Structure 1
Amino acid sequence: MGTAKTVLITGTSSGIGLATTVAAARMGWLPVATMRDTTRAENLIAAAKEAGVDDLVRVARLDVTDPASVAECVAGVVAEYGGLDAVVNNAGAGTVGTIEIAGMDPVRANMEVNYFGVVEVTRAALPHLRESRGRLVTVTSVGGVVGQPFNEAYCAAKFAVEGFMESLAPVAASVGVRVSVVEPGAVASEFVAGQQLDIPAMLAAAGPYAPALQAYIDRTLKAFSVAQTPADAAGSIIAALTDENPPFRVQTTEWARDFAGTKLADLDGSAVQRLTGGWVGLTRS
C-alpha cells in the first residue's frame, strides 16, 4: 500500500462518518469505513465513486458493542495494511426522553454504544497507534460539555467519553499518540431521523413533562433547520488527523465554540441552567 496512511472510521453509513471517509480518501488516506450492517454501505460507496476515491475506500463490518467484532476488525485492518495510523470513533446513537418516563433501558443502550463502544475500539487500537505514533480522534458533541434537556442518557454517555479521553490524552501522548475530541453542534444528517421519533406519541406519554418536552422539540427543530452539514463537520476531523499539533478539544462551528465556552466559564452552573432552562420554557431572573 506504499506510504499512504490507514484510518479506521466507525459509523460510516451516513452523516459525519460517511463525509469523513470521503474527505480522508480525498487527502490520500486509506479509510477503512466500518459499520454494524454493511448492507447499508450503498450511500457511502456512491459518494466515494462520485468523488473518484472509491478505489481507496474499504468497507468492513464492526459492531462497537461486540468486543469480538472490534478485535476481529482491528486485527484484519492491521493484517491487510501492515499497521494502523489513525482511528476516528464516530459511531453513536441518540435518544430523547427523561428518566422517570423512559426508564433505564435508554441509559444502558447509550452507554453501550456511545461510551463502552468507544473505549473498546480505543483499547483494541492503541497498541497499533502506539507503534505508528498515530492519531485517535473521537466525535463527541457539545452535549458532552453541556447537559441538555431530554438528552440525559445521551449527554451522560458523551460526558463519560470526554472524561475518558481527557484523562487518556496525556498518557497516550507519552507514547506518541495524539488524542483529540471533536464537538459538533447541530448537524444536518440522518442522526436525528435515525432516532425515528414519534413526536405525538412522545408527548402523549410525557405526562407532567409534556409542556417542557413540547418547548424543547420546538426549539430543537429550529436549531436543526440551520444545522451544519456533515461535510463541514468532517473538515474538523480531518484537521485533527492531519495538523502537526492538533488541539485536544475542537468545536466544529462558532456556535459550538460559544456554547461550550458558556459551560467552561460557568463555575457555579447558573449560566447553563438559565440557557437550557429557556429551552423547556423556564424563565429565571
Structure 2
Amino acid sequence: MTTSSETQKLVVVTGASTGMGAATARELAGRGFHVLAGVRRDKDADAVRAEHVEPVLLDITEPERIAALAARVGGDHRALHALVNNAGISVNAPVEALPLPEWRRQFEVNLFGHIAVTQALLPALLDSRGRVVNISSVGGKVALPAYGAYAGSKFALEAVSDSLRRELAPLGVKVVVIEPGGVRTEITGNAVAAVEELAGRMSAELNERYGKLLQAVVGQARSFDTGGLSADTAAKVIADAVTHRKPRTRYTVGRDGAVLTRLARLLPDRALDRLLAAGLRRHYPAPTGAAASASA
C-alpha cells in the first residue's frame, strides 16, 4: 500500500530502458516513489518517461554520467530510499572462444559499473538508511556451458553483495540480491544475436569443437521467450524487496531459478553436470546426413 511518505522518496533504477528495469520503474512509480530511471539514449528516455518516472541518461561504465546522477540525487530534497542495480549484458561463448575484450566488457558492465554507481550513491543511502538491491541471476549460483563470462560476473556480484551487506548492516543500510531464472526480456534477444555473431567469427577449429554447443545454447535461450516469466512478474518481486520493512537477503524469481539453485546446493558436482547436460541436449541440432543414418 502506498503511503504519503513514499511519494517523498527517490529510487534509482539502472538499466531501465526495457525489460525488468522498465517494468520495475513502472511498478515502483505505481507504489508512490519518484523513480530516476537510468537509460542510455534519448529515444529510450522518451519511451520510459511517465508520471513519477524521470529518465536520466546513464551509462554505468562512464564516470561522468555516474557523477551527474549523484549530483541529481544530492540536489533533491527527497531522501534516496533505494538503488536498484539492474543494468546488465550477456555475452555467451565457450571460455576458449570468447575474446578477452569481451570478457572485460562483460565484467565492466555487470560488476564494476554496479560498484561505481553504488560507491557514488552510498553517501545518500547512508543518510536515509536506505537499501541496495542488486539484480543477479540464477547464473550467479550455477554456471551453464558457454555462460562462463556472464556467470562469472554474476558470481562476483553475489560475493560483493555479501561483503557489502555485512559492511553496511551496522550502518543501517540493507543489501538485497535478486536471482531471476528465465525471464522474457530484451537481454535474451541481444544475447542470442551476440552468440550468433561470435560464432560467425570463430575459426574452423573452434567451430568444430563448439558449433553445436552454441546452437544448443541459442535454442535454450530462445525457449525463455515462451517459457520464461514476464518482466512485470519479476518487477513485483524487485519492488517488494525495495519496499518490505525487513527484506530477505535474497529473492529467487521463477520456479526454474528456485529449483536450479536448490539442486546446486544439494547435488554433487558431477550429478549436477549430468542434469545440466541433459537439459541442454534437447536443444542440440538434429543430426543430418550420414550422422543421422548412423544413429538410426
TM-score, length basis structure 2: 0.86
How far off is 1:38 after superposition? 3.0
Q: Residue 262 and residue 30 in structure 1: after superposition, are their counterparts in 2 closer, same or farther (change >3 A)?
A: same
How far off is 1:16 after superposition? 0.3
Contact 2:94–2:146 (CA<8 Å) still a contact in 1? yes
In the alignment, residue 28 of structure 2 is paired with which amino acid?
A: A
How far off is 1:251 after superposition? 0.5
Whether 1:124 aligns to 2:120 is: yes
Contact 2:45–2:56 (CA<8 Å) still a contact in 1? no
2:230 and 2:61 mapped to 1: Cα distance?
27
Whether 1:179 aligns to 2:180 is: no
Whether 1:12 aligns to 2:9 is: no
Other structure's SS at 1:41 match: helix
Other structure's SS at 2:177 match: strand
Provide the residue aligned with 2:259 in structure 1: 258
Provide the residue aligned with 1:270 in structure 2: 270
Contact 1:263–1:271 (CA<8 Å) still a contact in 2? no
Q: Residue 174 and residue 151 in structure 1: after superposition, are their counterparts in 2 closer, same or farther (change >3 A)?
A: same
Unaligned 5+ runs, structure 1: 46-53
Residues 1-285 of structure 1 correspond to what in structure 2 (within 5 A)? 4-45=8-49, 54-195=50-191, 196-197=193-194, 199=196, 202=199, 205=202, 206-266=207-267, 268-281=268-281
2:254 and 2:67 mapped to 1: Cα distance?
34
- Aligned-pair RMSD on alpha carbons? 2.1
How far off is 1:82 after superposition? 4.1
2:8 and 2:269 mapped to 1: Cα distance?
46
1:29 and 1:130 mapped to 2: Cα distance?
18
Q: Residue 109 and residue 3 in structure 1: after superposition, are their counterparts in 2 closer, same or farther (change >3 A)?
A: same
Other structure's SS at 2:122 match: helix
In the alignment, residue 277 of structure 2 is paired with which amino acid?
A: G
Shift >3 Å, 4+ stretches = 197-201, 279-282
Contact 1:188–1:227 (CA<8 Å) still a contact in 2? yes
1:95 and 1:134 mapped to 2: Cα distance?
32
In the alignment, residue 11 of structure 1 is paired with which amino acid?
A: G
Provide the residue aligned with 2:286 in structure 1: none
How far off is 1:94 after superposition? 0.7
2:201 and 2:67 mapped to 1: Cα distance?
43
1:115-160 superposed Cα distances (whole Å, 9 cap, x missing partner): 0001111111111111101011011110111111111111111110
TM-score, length basis structure 1: 0.89
1:216 and 1:190 mapped to 2: Cα distance?
16
The percentage of counterpart residues that share the same residue type is: 32
2:20 and 2:228 mapped to 1: Cα distance?
13
1:66 and 1:182 mapped to 2: Cα distance?
24
Q: Residue 72 and residue 42 in structure 1: after superposition, are their counterparts in 2 closer, same or farther (change >3 A)?
A: closer
How far off is 1:232 after superposition? 0.3
Other structure's SS at 2:75 match: helix
How far off is 1:6 after superposition? 0.5
Contact 2:6–2:33 (CA<8 Å) still a contact in 1? no
How far off is 1:204 after superposition? 7.8
Contact 1:89–1:138 (CA<8 Å) still a contact in 2? yes
Deviates more, 1:145-154 or 1:31-40: 31-40
Q: Residue 281 and residue 2 in structure 1: after superposition, are their counterparts in 2 closer, same or farther (change >3 A)?
A: closer
1:134 and 1:95 mapped to 2: Cα distance?
32
Q: Residue 265 and residue 75 in structure 1: after superposition, are their counterparts in 2 closer, same or farther (change >3 A)?
A: farther
How far off is 1:39 after superposition? 2.5
2:21 and 2:224 mapped to 1: Cα distance?
21
